[in-house]
Amino acid sequence: MKTLLILTLGLFVCGNAYAEIPDEQAIKALIGEAGGQSYQELYAHACALRNRNTLEGVYGIRSKQVALASGKTWQRVSRAWYESVDGLDVTGGATHWLSEYDLENCSHNADWRFTMIMTGKIGQTYFYKEK
């Protein structure tokens, strides 16, 4: 009985026991992934990154575009990231994405997409979630 009480309290206190992506890291990743795209695509990337809840496999975090981004880009990307907190998830629960460029030039590195469900296309980006 004591163990059950401790487990129940632990679930209540911890809720979702995952760490969120730090805002600055998420914004950097979004700049690298979609900073130059339309706001609609950028917002969709922010939604998918929140669904993903990790930067593992997100190559934008290492993009040279982060260091080159203007203040205006930082503001636009930050706005998309913060609006995605309570906004509508326009990706249908997607956790992964590929651009048309990726599919045309790097498809050999994207075989994972065949194990997932495509949830939609926004701009030039396809969004996917696990089956």
- Spatial separation of the C-alpha atoms in residues 93 and 128, rounded to whole Å: 8
Q: Does a structural domain hold residue 7?
A: no
Q: Does a structural domain hold residue 12?
A: no
Q: Does a structural domain hold residue 25?
A: yes
**pLDDT at residue 10 is higher than 60:** no
Q: Does a structural domain hold residue 10?
A: no
Q: 122: closest CA among 47, 56, 52, 31?
A: 47
pLDDT score recorded for residue 108? 76
Q: Does a structural domain hold residue 13?
A: no
pLDDT score recorded for residue 125? 97
**pLDDT at residue 1 is higher than 80:** no
Span 64-117, pLDDT tens digits: 999 999 999 999 999 999 999 999 999 999 999 999 998 999 877 889 999 999
Q: What is the pTM of this model?
A: 0.83
Q: Does a structural domain hold residue 5?
A: no
pLDDT score recorded for residue 44? 98
Q: Residue 48: pLDDT band by 50, 70, 90 thresholds?
A: very high
For residue 122, the enclosing domain spans 20-130
Question: At 2, phi and psi to the nearest 5?
Answer: -65, -40
pLDDT score recorded for residue 64? 96
What's the mean pLDDT in 42-62? 96
What's the mean pLDDT in 7-31? 67
Strand 96-99 versus strand 125-130 pairing type: antiparallel
Q: Does a structural domain hold residue 118?
A: yes
Pinpoint the alpha helices (H) of 15-93: 23-34, 39-52, 65-68, 71-83
Looking at the structure of the chain, the number of domains it has is 1
Strand 116-122 versus strand 96-99 pairing type: unpaired
Q: Does a structural domain hold residue 1?
A: no
